[in-house]
Structure 1
Amino acid sequence: MKSLEYLLPLMIMLAAATRDPTPPDNRLENPGFEETVGNEPVAWQKVIDPDTRNCEIGVTRQGARSGKHAVRIAQVWGKNRSQAGIKSSRQVPVDPGTTYIFSFWYRTVSTEYSLPFMANVRVYRKNHEPFLFSRRKISSSPEWRQVQILLEQLPADAVSAEVAFAVSMRTRGEVLIDDVVLKKASQKDIESLEEWRRQDLPAVTRNAAKVRLSPADNFRLAEADGVWWLIRPDGKPTWSIGTMGRYPNEERSSPSMRKWVLERYPDETDYRKKLYGQIVDWGFNSFDGWTDDQYGEIIEQRYLKGDTYLPMFKVLSLSRDIEPELCARDLHGRVRSGSHAFPDPFNPHWRTHATQKAASSIQAFRNKPWLAGWFVDNEIEFMDLFRFIWADYSGKQFVSDLENKYKRIEELNKAWSSKYAAYRFESFAGILTKKPEPAAWDDPLFVDFTAFERRMVKEYVDFTYDLVKRADPSRLVISSRINLGPMQDIHRTIDLWSKFDLIAMNIYPQNLQYGLSSGELAVLETLHKSTGKPLIISEWGTSAIDSGLYNLDEDAQGRPLDWSWNEVVRTQGERADIYEACITQFASLGYVVGAHWFTTMDVDTKIRRANRGILDTNHQPYAPLVSSMKEVHARLKDRMNLPD
């Protein structure tokens, strides 16, 4: 009997080690992955896209957060943003009128990108196709970290849901998931989640009063005490707080907005002057890159009279909407991302197109002191670029580079042959016929293909920078406005972007918390450290459900639910708080010289509807957002000692 007494504490410890730590009202089966069949967790199933060639998915018995097991997704090699992960294999019944909380714990190991995986919730509906209700990019974390996501305002015909975790990037690292919960949210849960979402705002310590340069006829960049500044023509430093100057024509805005404008401002010039004053009243001090050319006339008049003015940035879009034959292509002749496709930088016809586009766009603004700089492109797609080397001119250049390296085709065959494939090319020209492709990181082809990827990016950077600098020598030449989509691949070429005077980043926060996540901030830090150049946030924004622009049922005009749905928050009040948090974070970063909000007016056109504006579809300001903008802009200008 005494021996049993000694065993009892041990038995209790063992039971505690395997007990499910998730709450009893959790609706998911096997949420801690403790029940297994072989290496597979019960009630969960793998989800692997056909384009995912390699991955490791299953239960790991090392380093679980609780119990004995966690799920591990690792060593993913795919293409075309293919996904590899797991999902709950049994749909969980849900009530459309109920609010739920989806939470989980995770940690990451050696992932190449700071937003390495996604957490998804798919809702099944009675009268419609299944709907990806929530998709959030999750920040890397070497330590176990919990994420909580509120699921509310489900579709009226929602009947069930499933949760999933997916890696959609090529990585040699791993993601571990444990203790997943999907449950009804009590008021206490909602209050706790709201507290978790609130982050302390960073201090803004930069001081413009410490910096003075001699006057010049252009905007410049300067660094002082580790802080970067945008320098005005009068030699005074500033920090660009920008948004868009537009006119609400039929292509861009709703009928109700156009009606409001035409009734009050039949002359477009009068309207633009009115909006100019409104933007100044909201506390902005710059026009962003998408601003209509006509606002330049207003700026010019004010500049020549010696009045304060809003400087302007402009997007050249040297590669936007180019013909497919001018774009980078894969082995099947496919182009990546349509209007955002990366060009074939060796193609002389693209170079001619870009030269003509630059000349026509720059002509009216050349040597204008109030024009801060030119963005060469917007959101061109360079993800998987090492696979898109087979366009006519780039393909021939690639083969020429291989011939210069290996000299003899027998040497290339020997170097490339491996467990993945044996090569017996009879000539270098035969490579253009077969168009091979790397199969994994240790495939010998990967070295040559990624080396040529760098060659393509360098050719693009050098050509676009030199083209614009020749056309308008005194203006800043700013990189293509990089977005999060291809960022997971930029680590192979990021140093090459340093030729640009300024690096541009378009970033739309995931809004899991108020402000940018640690992963989003790490993206900005990586861009700066790897290029040594300052950054400008060329687009950012957030949206709210209460705008009425996110109808989950069919739209009367057949428009799809906008992609910004995955980042929406509940109310304009929340949107206002997020504005304050994000712009304060941007201003606190010594390498960021400005942030431009997208956009002035809500998007409500024949093809798209989205809550992106400061003004709603009836041209009325969103009061909470405008109040926050005015207050935080005044506070930041005061803290930074910005000149008028």
Structure 2
Amino acid sequence: MKRHAWIWLCLGGLGACHASAMPGVADLAAPDAGARISLDHVQLAGGTEHAGDGVAQQRYVFQPAPRPQIAIAPAGGAWDWSGQGELRLRVQNAMPWAVTLEVAVDGAANQRLQATVGVPAGPAQTLVVPLRATSPRGEGMQAGPPMPFDDHGRPTLLATTVQGALDLRDVRAIRLGVPTPQTAQTLLFGRLDVAPGSASGHDAYAGIVDRYGQFTRADWPEKIDTDAALRAAVQARPATVRSAERDAYGGRLDVHGRDRTGWFRTQKRNGRWQLVTPDGHAFFSLGVNAVITDGGRSYVEGREFMFRDLPPDRGAWAAFYGSGDDRKPEQGASRGIDYNHGRWFDFYAANLYRVDGRDWLAAWRRRALDRLQAWGFNTLGNWSDDALGQAHRLPYTRSIEIAGDYANVSSGYDYWGRMPDPFDPRFAQAAERAAATASAGVRDDPWLLGYFADNELAWAGSGPQGRWGLALGTLAGTASSPAKRAFIADLKAKYRTPTQLAAAWGIALASWDTLDATGFAAPAPDEAHPAIARDYSAWLRRYADAYFRTVAEAIRHHDPHHLFLGGRFAVRTPEAVAACAQYCDVLSFNVYADLPQHGLDLAALHALDKPVLIGEFAFGSTDRGPFGAGPVAVWNEQQRGEAYAKFVAAAASDPNIVGAHWFDYADQPVTGRLLDGENSHFGLVGITDIPFGGFVQAVRAANEQVRDRR
């Protein structure tokens, strides 16, 4: 057939026409006079079919092309959907795999609502698209429940994320597309309708969490339904890892030639960097982040309908309830997260109480250390329970969390907040306080591996000019900003007159006072004005030097013994990394990639000749309860184990990498953690504290190989 085709009224073989029941209705199985349908790289296949429930459907084949689509428009004028809340479409996937379907609803003046859904293979279902912008963040979590769900006996595929805006009084078209299929994809469509309200959205989230904090609509091997099953699974003894003989700290006794200093340190030998234990033996750090008991807290206030059988907030259970507001609106991580304050319940700790009663915390600490050692880990990573480190069974790390009323700068990313301004004298004071707090009671402890400073600071912005975000943000600040004053002073010292700076940057600059304006729009670097990039790069290095020098001096002042493990880079610039290498003992990076080599510029790091610690890495899937899989998703639990083994083996093979720390110990709550609504399956154990058997077996085997080979 032709590339474009219009379907008017009846089509041969499609059955009899019938009138629309209400405005805004079309029928893709038997088009009627209420709408017209155009096909772009989409073909009709056969005649009308009937699904198992007798509903009429028609096959549409989306051909390999950039954007094959079906467009449905009113026969004349526009639809008025005032008072309507949902678009509903009968759909069935005829392929043996899930097919991605894009749905867009167009209005006047370029208004559009759009959603992308995965239509699973299987029986026919109803696709529901809310007629407003929405996302799981509006329900208090970052990832929404899997679809379809059983909506009172009807399989319903809800688009949990809808973007855009639309005037419902003036709706011009509906578009159904499959993005760039590599082979023909066949979907069956039936009636398209609109309905008032948003009952499907409520029902999709209703009753999704059971009394143990587990997702109610799925099953997996570690899921339990009784307290007895919970106790039996949690208290099972872990299998132990076999490894070469080690010193008290986990260092290799069969690797000699390292000096014994009484503290952890770094040493390069035969072209390879290594950590060295206090007893002088080589040590590759295999750690786990957030080995804690309070990660299972999730807000329940205002969304009690999501939870089944919550315990009463009195008696022994009262200890697992709390209230507060942990989310910060200035952080991108928390932006748009509703249900962000009020009463919360701690599912993880409540399950520990179910297992061990009043002494649950002490029992958990013993069990966690037993498990980590049995699974081949040798380090307690960032944010872990301090008492675990003080048990002196595993080396541990400390985090220096610098906070205060000092000035700050936006880089344009600001996921965890704006950048601290190291040119403000109050920042140095805050760093001193933070270092004093972090080192209290541990400065003379040989089991302490070292200190991290802050976490995932916004050293860069987003987008193609993101590298320069901190320079642009500095100049956009207020005239009183210490960083801005320092940057302007540098520019004045270099260019002497505003005319010289204007010529170098290709801008109009009547006087130096122009730079003082809040929101000053500094130019983005371009090839015609290479001085811009040079000046920004110099500033980024000076900024990072000021930060890392200040923090390093504070650490050395309060603890001259232990390692400064860097700043746990996520977004970063070459200038920031080079400055960190100058002042830190170890460079640390949070690497969310399939392999370290794909998340780091290892050639540049080798040139800096500094040891590297991977402070976070993780692989998630969606087959164990929580709805999110994190930045690096795999299909299932087995692939999580395979991905872990490949990652740590690749890390250990690099001569600069001295360790890798998994994020994190326990799964996040189904309905999102307090901090930012994150709700991913990252854990070695579930919200019930039950280990994921297949995964920890793979982890144990991988750790054994790395520890013995490295």
TM range (shorter): 0.5 to 0.7
Partner residue in 1 for 2:618: 541
Q: Please list, as runs of the form range in 1=range in 2, the aligned pairs for 1:153-552 lying within 5 A after superposition.
A: 155=148, 157=156, 181=182, 209-244=254-289, 246-249=291-294, 252=297, 255-263=346-354, 264=356, 266-267=358-359, 268-299=361-392, 309-318=393-402, 326-329=407-410, 336-337=413-414, 339-383=416-460, 384-390=469-475, 391=477, 392-416=481-505, 418=506, 421-425=507-511, 428-433=512-517, 435-442=520-527, 443=529, 444-483=531-570, 486-487=571-572, 490-499=573-582, 500-509=584-593, 515-516=594-595, 519-520=598-599, 523-526=600-603, 528-550=605-627
Contact kept? 1:242, 1:286, Cα under 8 Å? yes
SS of equivalent to 1:389:
helix
Contact kept? 1:495, 1:530, Cα under 8 Å? no
Deviates more, 1:241-250 or 1:597-606: 241-250
Counterparts of 1:256 and 1:576 in 2: how far apart (Å)? Answer: 26
SS of equivalent to 1:412:
helix
Contact kept? 2:291, 2:664, Cα under 8 Å? no
Counterparts of 1:593 and 1:215 in 2: how far apart (Å)? Answer: 18
Counterparts of 2:610 and 2:94 in 1: how far apart (Å)? Answer: 49
Letter in 2 for 1:231: V
Q: Deviations over 1:88-143 (max 9, x none)?
A: xxx9x8739852478xxxxxxxxxxxxxxxxx99338523468999xxxxxxxxxx
Write 1 or 2 for the structure with the bigger share of helix: 1
Contact kept? 1:386, 1:453, Cα under 8 Å? yes
CA shift for structure 1 position 468:
1.1
Q: Deviations over 1:568-601 (max 9, x none)?
A: 3232122111111111111111211111111111
Contact kept? 2:615, 2:660, Cα under 8 Å? yes
Partner residue in 2 for 1:115: none
Contact kept? 1:122, 1:130, Cα under 8 Å? no
CA shift for structure 1 position 336:
4.4
Counterparts of 2:255 and 2:365 in 1: how far apart (Å)? Answer: 35
Counterparts of 1:260 and 1:273 in 2: how far apart (Å)? Answer: 16
Partner residue in 2 for 1:122: 116
Contact kept? 1:399, 1:429, Cα under 8 Å? no
Distance 1:372 1:527, change over 3 A: farther
Contact kept? 1:478, 1:504, Cα under 8 Å? yes
CA shift for structure 1 position 502:
0.5
Q: Please list, as runs of the form range in 1=range in 2, the aligned pairs for 1:92-131 lying within 5 A after superposition.
A: 95=93, 99-100=97-98, 122-123=116-117, 126-128=128-130
Counterparts of 1:160 and 1:276 in 2: how far apart (Å)? Answer: 42
Contact kept? 1:222, 1:231, Cα under 8 Å? yes
CA shift for structure 1 position 312:
0.6
CA shift for structure 1 position 615:
0.8
Counterparts of 2:134 and 2:639 in 1: how far apart (Å)? Answer: 25
Partner residue in 2 for 1:117: none
Q: Deviations over 1:488-515 (max 9, x none)?
A: xx13443222111101011123xxxxx4
Letter in 2 for 1:516: L
Partner residue in 2 for 1:617: 687
Structure 2 unmatched ranges of 5 or more: 1-40, 42-58, 70-88, 101-113, 119-126, 137-145, 150-155, 162-178, 187-250, 299-344, 461-468
Letter in 1 for 2:579: L
Letter in 2 for 1:220: R
SS of equivalent to 2:385:
coil
CA shift for structure 1 position 516:
2.0
Counterparts of 1:247 and 1:209 in 2: how far apart (Å)? Answer: 33
Counterparts of 2:380 and 2:252 in 1: how far apart (Å)? Answer: 23
Counterparts of 2:688 and 2:458 in 1: how far apart (Å)? Answer: 35
Counterparts of 1:339 and 1:624 in 2: how far apart (Å)? Answer: 34
Distance 1:447 1:364, change over 3 A: same
Q: What is the root-mean-square deviation in Å for CA atoms of aligned residues?
A: 3.8
CA shift for structure 1 position 626:
1.1
Q: Deviations over 1:335-372 (max 9, x none)?
A: 74163432111011122112111111111211211101
Counterparts of 1:96 and 1:369 in 2: how far apart (Å)? Answer: 63
Letter in 1 for 2:578: D
Counterparts of 1:277 and 1:588 in 2: how far apart (Å)? Answer: 28
Distance 1:286 1:400, change over 3 A: same
SS of equivalent to 2:547:
helix
CA shift for structure 1 position 29:
5.9
CA shift for structure 1 position 224:
1.7
Partner residue in 1 for 2:12: none
Distance 1:615 1:527, change over 3 A: farther
Aligned residues: 450
Aligned with residue 595 of structure 1, among 637, 650, 660: 660
CA shift for structure 1 position 257:
2.8
Partner residue in 2 for 1:173: none
CA shift for structure 1 position 534:
1.2
CA shift for structure 1 position 28:
6.0
Contact kept? 1:536, 1:595, Cα under 8 Å? yes
Higher Rg of the two aligned structures? 2
Partner residue in 1 for 2:205: none
SS of equivalent to 2:434:
helix
SS of equivalent to 2:420:
coil
SS of equivalent to 1:482:
coil
Partner residue in 2 for 1:112: none
Counterparts of 2:63 and 2:133 in 1: how far apart (Å)? Answer: 21
Counterparts of 1:394 and 1:351 in 2: how far apart (Å)? Answer: 14
Letter in 1 for 2:708: D
Distance 1:496 1:96, change over 3 A: farther
Contact kept? 1:573, 1:625, Cα under 8 Å? yes
Contact kept? 2:588, 2:614, Cα under 8 Å? yes
Distance 1:458 1:316, change over 3 A: same
Pairing 1:582–2:652 present: no
SS of equivalent to 2:691:
coil
Counterparts of 2:662 and 2:387 in 1: how far apart (Å)? Answer: 20
SS of equivalent to 1:294:
helix
CA shift for structure 1 position 539:
0.9
